[in-house]
Amino acid sequence: MDDLLDEETKKLYEELQKLLEQKRDNDEVIEKLEEIKNREGALEKELDRALEMIQTATV
């Protein structure tokens, strides 16, 4: 999984892990989860575009 994540997303997961270990305020945890969700959504769109380009190139 780590091989698929960019550095920014890896950093967000690390920050989330630290917050969970410290039993921080739920608002902070929710904020990090939202950031990760947004990054993963962007990554998914990039992968979809790349797949579409590959499929178009092979036709």
Q: Count CB atoms within 10 A of the CB of residue 32.
A: 20
pLDDT tens-digit profile of 2-55? 566 788 888 888 888 888 888 767 888 888 888 888 888 888 898 899 999 888
CB 9, CB 39: distance < 8 Å: yes
1 pLDDT more than 60: no
43 residue type, one letter = L
